[in-house]
């Protein structure tokens, strides 16, 4: 079974969508609480937002099959916390964003199962990501890694109040060049439709922090979208009328990455 899909492009831009998958294998789902089996914390429809843009621009796109409940591809394989001191879900989550358990009381994943999931799901995605970055960098000299994410606009376990619409993360400026961050910030500041934050609650996850080395030819940027701007957060339905405005801003930012 293929655990990810990779669409190879020809420009120096790789769009990684590590939480786009919602598949949960039967042997895992049967041990989960009913509410968890629908994978409600998926970054719903980010593939639908990004793929037409990637095709038009000639960018590469990497998407996983499995839900973040199987394994979180944006966490380090050693399980270290991304935001020490703050509550968060881990490499193999046992709670959802609502703070409720994912598994039936008697059957959480043990250490051996976690290692199997790393080998089956985590490692192949990261190998593909590293190889595609290397291919594009060898061809162009430099490459931008764009991490596309989304989340419900209100998640009390993770942040207070309502999340800004567009949340740009560059590991506090360490994962991309100052010039690129400045241009992306200016793009967000120039539009008056959506609110935004830079290196706020979401500063970039493991992938952004691990691969972003501007001095080595890889600029990495994470964009976390508030889902209410392009979908119904209650039903998970895509909103055809609202999504194009979100895509327009994303497209301008991606063009800046290529500029």
- pLDDT averaged over the chain? 96
Residue spans of the domains in the chain: they are 4-258
DSSP 8-state class, residue 166: E
Longest dimension (CA), the chain: 53
Report the alpha-carbon distance of residue 214 to residue 69 in Å, rounded: 31
Cβ–Cβ < 8 Å for 244, 230: no
Number of alpha carbons in the 13 Å side-chain half-sphere of residue 10: 3
Check whether domain 4-258 has CATH 3.40.630.40, yes or no: yes
Output the tens digit of pLDDT for each of the chain's 259 residues.
Answer: 799 999 999 999 999 999 999 999 999 999 999 999 999 999 999 999 999 999 999 999 999 999 999 999 999 999 777 776 677 788 999 999 999 999 998 778 999 999 999 999 999 999 999 999 999 999 999 999 999 999 999 999 999 999 999 999 999 999 999 999 999 999 999 999 999 999 999 999 999 999 999 999 999 999 999 999 999 999 999 999 999 999 999 999 999 999 9
pLDDT at res. 85: 67
5-33 per-position pLDDT tens digit:
999 999 999 999 999 999 999 999 999 99
Report the alpha-carbon distance of residue 105 to residue 145 in Å, rounded: 39
């Amino acid at each position: 079974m293929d655990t990810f899909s990779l669409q190879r492009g020809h420009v120096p831009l790789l769009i990684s969508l590590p939480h786009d998958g919602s598949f949960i294998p039967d042997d895992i789902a049967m041990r989960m609480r009913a509410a968890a089996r629908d994978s409600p914390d998926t970054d719903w429809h980010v593939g639908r937002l990004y793929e037409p843009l990637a095709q038009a621009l000639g960018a590469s796109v990497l998407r996983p099959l499995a839900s973040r409940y199987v394994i979180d591809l944006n966490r380090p394989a050693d399980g270290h916390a991304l935001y020490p001191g703050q509550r968060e879900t881990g490499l193999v989550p046992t709670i959802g964003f609502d703070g409720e358990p994912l598994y039936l009381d008697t059957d959480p994943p043990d250490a051996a199962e976690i290692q199997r999931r790393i080998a089956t799901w985590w490692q192949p995605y990261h190998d593909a990501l590293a190889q595609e970055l290397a291919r594009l960098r060898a061809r162009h000299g430099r490459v931008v890694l764009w991490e596309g994410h989304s989340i419900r606009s209100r998640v009390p376990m993770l942040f207070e109040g309502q999340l800004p619409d567009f949340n740009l993360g560059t590991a506090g400026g360490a994962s991309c060049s100052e010039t690129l961050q400045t241009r992306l910030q200016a793009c967000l500041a120039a539009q008056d439709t959506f609110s935004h934050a830079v290196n706020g609650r979401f500063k970039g996850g493991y992938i952004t922090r691990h691969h972003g080395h501007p001095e080595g030819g890889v600029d990495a940027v994470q964009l976390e979208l508030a889902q209410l701007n392009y979908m119904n957060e209650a039903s998970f339905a895509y909103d055809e009328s609202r999504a194009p405005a979100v895509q327009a801003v994303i497209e301008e930012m991606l063009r800046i990455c290529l500029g």
